[in-house]
Amino acid sequence: MLPVLEPGELKRKWSSRLLELGEVEERVREILQQVKEQGQEAVKRFTLELDGVDLDECGFKVKKGEIASAYEAVSPALLEALREAKENIFQYHLKEKQVSWMETDKKGNVLGQIHLPLKRVGIYAPGGTAPYPSSVLMTGVPALVAGVRELVLATPPAKDGTLNPLLLVAAAELGIKEIYKMGGAQAIAALAYGTQEVKPVEKIAGPGNIYVTIAKREVFGVVDIDMLAGPSEIVVVADASAQPRWVAADLLSQAEHDPLAGAVLITPEESLALRTAEEVERQLNTLPRKKIALKSLENYGAAVVVKDVEEALDLANELAPEHLELCLAEPWRWLGRVENAGAVFLGHYSSEPVGDYWAGPSHVLPTGGTARFSSPMSVATFTKRMSLIYTSPQYLQEVGKKIALLARAEGLEAHARAIEARFKGGK
């Protein structure tokens, strides 16, 4: 159920999560091209073919009446929880806001940086095996804090043509007025290229399945994207102070996402590894998404026994997981040894779902080892920066010869002349 592996075995198993993409890539490119050429008709055709939904019957753009019905379907307690979670996310990301700046030196030169929000952003919220209203909040809130004026939501409809009520309420709570019933590669194409009914966006953000991920990669350059998000991952580094029941529950919290999700325990305590494996099997029996979690654990789950916490953290840094839990007696002592992770959860009570739903940081995180060089979604994801340069005549006179010298060293004569033209007797 949760195999006990050697570190080398785990690394081979983890890397095998990379898929053979040739056939998927070809299909995605076909979908993108047809939407680009045929617009809305292609979106409708692929939605009928792939999702079994006729957009002419259920409606493509969500109407006000559907939003009103969604609010009626969501309990007051659930609405209150959603709003409180939204506020937590807002408060966290408000601290990330960057301000434009300018600096003038003694010679009258001005250097600076201007921060501007993107104007129009497309949010993709996954459907598939489960709807994710939390992803709407975790993507939309940082965008709103950044100052994005137009947010567009695309999400695949259920077989009956409806959208999850809580997902619609989450979008409405953020003031999103454009909500489209479309998913997969056709949704990414519509957001990137535009159709007769969808105005193109400047950036596409939000996680999705492999078709969505490849489609985002293919349209990059036409629009910007947030990241190439893969299946969910959790690595738990634990010592003797950890509770096997809690560790097992946290591993299952990620395994239930997707058959490709990875869930790994690394510990110097062999007894903890064995007892956690027993707990995983026990808890799995009553899990509603048992089949999905079971496949994930069989293919990409493991308990690894190492000699000490140092070795556990070395291995965790190699894996660079999306979520890293430090279920240790002294988690703060070991935080400085963490180099690669999307989000770090410290202590026995910082369960990963706290980050998924409530704490504040966006749960859109780097996966597939990309935490080695990339960062979680933030306000900066939805901004762009411009450099500002003003040089005084006196300054240019002073340094112009050096600039021209460097330009000619690169064989760029026109660059040198552009400087010299501003001097007396220049070309």
Whether 13 has a pLDDT exceeding 90, the answer reads no
Using an 8 Å Cβ cutoff, are 253 and 235 in contact?
Answer: no
pLDDT for 8: 84
Architecture of domain 22-225: 3-Layer(aba) Sandwich (3.40)
Whether 22 has a pLDDT exceeding 80, the answer reads no
Q: Which residues touch 94 (CB under 8 Å, ≥6 apart)?
A: 145
pLDDT for 260: 87
The string of DSSP letters for 336-351 reads: GG--S-SEEEESTT--
Whether 20 has a pLDDT exceeding 70, the answer reads no
For residue range 63-121, what is the model confidence (pLDDT) as tens digits? Answer: 999 999 999 999 999 999 999 999 999 999 999 999 999 999 998 999 999 999 999 99
Closest CA to 155 of 168, 140, 137: 168
From the candidates 322, 325, 348, 352, which is the catalytic residue?
A: 322
Cβ atoms within 10 Å, residue 397: 13
- What average pLDDT does the segment 1-7 reach? 83
For residue range 26-50, what is the model confidence (pLDDT) as tens digits? Answer: 999 999 999 999 999 999 999 999 9
Whether 129 has a pLDDT exceeding 70, the answer reads no
pLDDT for 69: 97
Using an 8 Å Cβ cutoff, are 200 and 223 in contact?
Answer: yes
Q: How far apart are CA 338 and CA 55, in angstroms?
A: 48
Tokens representing residue 7 in the block: 């570190």
From the candidates 93, 257, 323, 348, which is the catalytic residue?
A: 323
- What average pLDDT does the segment 183-198 reach? 97
Q: Which residues touch 282 (CB under 8 Å, ≥6 apart)?
A: 248
Name the one residue in this structure whose structure tokens are 């062999």.
Answer: 270
pLDDT for 21: 54
For the question of residue 322 being annotated catalytic, the response is: yes
What string of H, E and C letters represents the secondary structure of 251-281? HHHHHCCCCCCEEEEEECCHHHHHHHHHHHH
Crossing angle of helices 165-173 and 76-94, rounded to 10°: 40
Tokens representing residue 221 in the block: 């350059």
Confidence class of residue 190 from pLDDT cuts 50, 70 and 90? very high
Please provide the average confidence, as pLDDT, over all residues in the chain: 94
Name the one residue in this structure whose structure tokens are 């369960």.
Answer: 351
pLDDT for 427: 55
Distances (CA, A) of 122 to 155, 156, 180: 11, 14, 10
Task: Give the rounded percent of residues in the chain with a pLDDT score beyond 90.
Answer: 87
Architecture of domain 4-17+231-359: 3-Layer(aba) Sandwich (3.40)
- What average pLDDT does the segment 8-25 reach? 73
Q: How far apart are CA 30 and CA 24, in angstroms?
A: 10
**Range(s) within the chain of domains with CATH label 3.40.50.1980:** 4-17+231-359, 22-225
Confidence class of residue 18 from pLDDT cuts 50, 70 and 90? low
pLDDT for 17: 65
DSSP state for residue 220 in the 8-state scheme = B
Closest CA to 136 of 102, 112, 168, 96: 168
- What average pLDDT does the segment 329-335 reach? 97
Confidence class of residue 24 from pLDDT cuts 50, 70 and 90? confident
Whether 12 has a pLDDT exceeding 90, the answer reads no
Cβ atoms within 10 Å, residue 69: 13
Q: Which residues touch 185 (CB under 8 Å, ≥6 apart)?
A: 27, 28, 31, 32, 46, 211, 212, 214, 215
Q: Which residues touch 245 (CB under 8 Å, ≥6 apart)?
A: 279, 283
Return the higher-pLDDT residue of 131 and 275: 275
The string of DSSP letters for 43-65 reads: HHHHIIIII---HHHH-SBPPHH
pLDDT for 42: 97
For residue range 370-399, what is the model confidence (pLDDT) as tens digits? Answer: 999 999 999 999 999 999 999 999 999 999
pLDDT for 230: 82
Instruction: Look at the pTM and tell me if it is higher than 0.85.
Output: yes
Tokens representing residue 136 in the block: 């709407």
Distances (CA, A) of 48 to 234, 371, 390: 35, 37, 56
Using an 8 Å Cβ cutoff, are 230 and 261 in contact?
Answer: no
Tokens representing residue 321 in the block: 């997981």
Confidence class of residue 235 from pLDDT cuts 50, 70 and 90? very high
Task: Give the rounded percent of residues in the chain with a pLDDT score beyond 70.
Answer: 97
Confidence class of residue 140 from pLDDT cuts 50, 70 and 90? very high
Whether 231 has a pLDDT exceeding 90, the answer reads no
- What average pLDDT does the segment 277-297 reach? 95
